[in-house]
Amino acid sequence: MVKPQWIPDRVDLMILDALQDNFPLVARPYAEIASRLGLTETGLLERVKHLHEAGIIRGISPILESRNIGLPAATLIAFHVPEETIPGTADIINSYPEVSHNFQREHYYNLWFTLCAKNNEQIEHLLADILKRTGIPRDNVLNLPTVKQHKIDVRFSFFRPGEKGDTFGPP
């Protein structure tokens, strides 16, 4: 599928900036964001849809700190999966609530995901279950447990300091 050409304008950049931080936990978060930006909720949602269709926004979701919600054990798993079975394998992996960041890579180990649990024994149990359901042999798996956690806060600034509020009001 060819993605439509969409060149973000200043309003789009303000939306992208606003979606990265302080997402409102209210019944209508987009209405609140739109209000902050001086837009209508419908106008904001339309622009978000265009940005998504153009591949500029891949997804909007929370980032949870797994240790703070009772899941201190974590690992990065890499699978070598036959190319034709990647979609089905990914669907099985994605069915586990303990899984996040499932993505494909162009590498011998071509399917990578993180797995979080209450302890390492639970991680091993979950991994064994995933392997059984997918039919992937243990020899085709890299299990890279978290030894030390480093958090990187990646946010993209679309404006110079003091610039973004000039036209549309505070973000």
Decide if 26 contacts 32 (C-beta within 8 A): yes
Q: Tell me the C-alpha distance between 116 and 120, whole Å.
A: 9
pTM over 0.75: no
So what's the pLDDT on residue 163?
65
So what's the pLDDT on residue 48?
95
Kindly list the distances between the CA atom of residue 73 and the CA atoms of 117, 145, 151, 152, in Å, as whole numbers in the listed order.
5, 8, 15, 19
pLDDT in tens, the chain (171 residues): 555 677 789 999 999 999 988 889 899 999 999 999 999 999 999 999 999 988 888 788 766 566 655 556 788 999 999 999 999 999 999 999 888 878 899 999 999 998 988 888 999 999 999 999 999 999 999 998 877 666 666 677 777 666 655 444 444
So what's the pLDDT on residue 69?
59
Q: Tell me the C-alpha distance between 75 and 70, whole Å.
A: 15
Domains plus CATH for the chain?
Answer: 10-61 (1.10.10.2890), 66-145 (3.30.70.3460)
Q: Classify the C-alpha dihedral 136-140-142-143 as positive or negative.
A: positive
Q: Which residues face 76 on adjacent strands?
A: 114, 144
So what's the pLDDT on residue 7?
79
Q: Can you give the length of the chain in residues?
A: 171
